[in-house]
Amino acid sequence: MANVIIRPEWSLSEKLITPEEVFHNRRRFLRDMGFAGAWLIGASGFAAAKDNKKYYPAKKNAALSSQLPAGTKSTPAEWIAGYNNFYEFTTEKYYVKRPFYMDKFSIDPWKMRVDGLCKKPLAVDVHDLIGDMGKKGKIDERVQRFRCVEGWSMVVPWTGFSLAELLKMVEPKPEAKFVRFTTAYNPKVMPGAARMTNYTWPYQEGLRLDEAMHPLAQVATGIYGKPLEKQNGAPLRLVVPWKYGYKSIKSIVRIELVAKQPKTFWGIAIPKEYPFESNVDPEVPHPRWSQATERVLGFNNRRTATLKYNGFGKQVASLYKK
């Protein structure tokens, strides 16, 4: 994001079609698996992850979906699975998905803590948590235009549950005013994080508590009617559809209720360009480019007007009344 390369449109599609797989070294894979196991506790996930398949595809939630012109199709799945921002692995969007990166990144089991200023802190294997939410009927699908600060978007069917459902479980204390999110960090299997030492790892993000409690703030566990792909932030990530994509932190290991506004990965790196709030707003240009329009990827990169709050003004504008 700090070094955006604008490619000619033809190179986008050409690179997607050309398979550029790098064969991974099996011995190294096994060694790193052992390491990955060390930072994850708990082992109940294996059965649960398999059982959870029954929750996909989930029932559609029209009220929490983007209002798109009738007949709008989702961006072809190869795009969201093949053009990714996940700096822990690489800044090369087309390469994140490669087995070279993804095979060493193990997501089952996956321990996550929800703690801080709350009455009932939680430490769970997320596969158990997903099963729990599924059983309670809290998992739904929301088709939303996902807007990156770089000026592109994709129409994505996200499956998951409202973050509010999870936060209610831990009972936030009155002192809790913000929520901090943290991505897994393991330089052994994250060559980007290992190499780019100028950034402050792990990746972290934050929301105000009232934003986090809005039903549109989603914990996504699936995409295109299936469990999430690793490159999209499996096993569980945030999707905050009225904010720029970098707020939607991937592969979360900790959610913490806090009193003060937390620091964020991009806020630390380039504070002037990535403010904490970061609501989608066509009238507020990024310091280095306009935010008035976006290219909807997967449809000849058609340029479309960007909408305030990414089209969710009716639902969220009241959060920002002064």
Ligand X SMILES: Nc1nc2c(c(=O)[nH]1)N[C@H]1C(S)=C(S)[C@@H](COP(=O)(O)O)O[C@H]1N2
Residue 81 sits at the vertex; the CA angle it makes with 61 and 198, to the nearest 5 degrees, is 110
For 26-76, give the secondary structure using H, E and C.
HHHHHHHHHHHHHCCCCCCHHHHHHHHHHHCCCEECHHHCCCCCCCCCCCC
* CB of 86 vs ligand X, minimal distance in Å: 5
Size of the site for ligand X (CB under 6 A): 18
Q: Which is nearer to Mo ion, 109 or 245 (CB)?
A: 245
Q: Of Mo ion, ligand X, none, which one does residue 56 interact with (CB within 5 to 8 Å by kind)?
A: none
Cα separations in angstroms, 93 against 80, 84, 133, 182, 193: 10, 5, 32, 21, 15
Nearest residue to ligand X on Cβ basis: 245
Residues in 101-140 that interact with ligand X by CB under 6 A: none
Of the ranges 8-16, 25-33, 85-93, 279-287, which one interacts with ligand X (CB under 6 A)?
Answer: 85-93
- Integer Cα distance of 230 and 96 in angstroms: 9
- Residue window 178-217: x/- pattern of binding to ligand X, with contact defined by CB under 6 A: -----x-------------------x--------------
Backbone dihedral angles phi then psi of residue 76, each to the nearest 5 degrees:
-50, 135
Residue 53 burial by Cβ neighbours in a 10 Å radius (0-12, 13-18, 19+): exposed
Of the ranges 12-20, 78-86, 119-127, 132-140, which one interacts with ligand X (CB under 6 A)?
Answer: 78-86
* CB of 151 vs Mo ion, minimal distance in Å: 10
Asked if 142 contacts 225 with a C-beta cutoff of 8 angstroms, the reply is no
* CB of 1 vs ligand X, minimal distance in Å: 5
Q: Is 148 in the site for ligand X (CB under 6 A)?
A: yes
Residues in 239-268 that interact with ligand X by CB under 6 A: 245-246, 248-251
- Integer Cα distance of 195 and 191 in angstroms: 6
Asked if 87 contacts 199 with a C-beta cutoff of 8 angstroms, the reply is yes
- Integer Cα distance of 292 and 290 in angstroms: 6
Q: Which of 12, 49, 64, 80 binds ligand X (CB under 6 A)?
A: 80
* CB of 150 vs ligand X, minimal distance in Å: 7
Q: Which of 56, 87, 161, 312 binds ligand X (CB under 6 A)?
A: 87
Q: Which helix (H) or strand (E) holds 113?
A: strand 111-116
* CB of 279 vs ligand X, minimal distance in Å: 15
Give residues in contact with ligand X (CB under 6 A).
Answer: 1, 80, 84-88, 148, 183, 203, 232-233, 245-246, 248-251
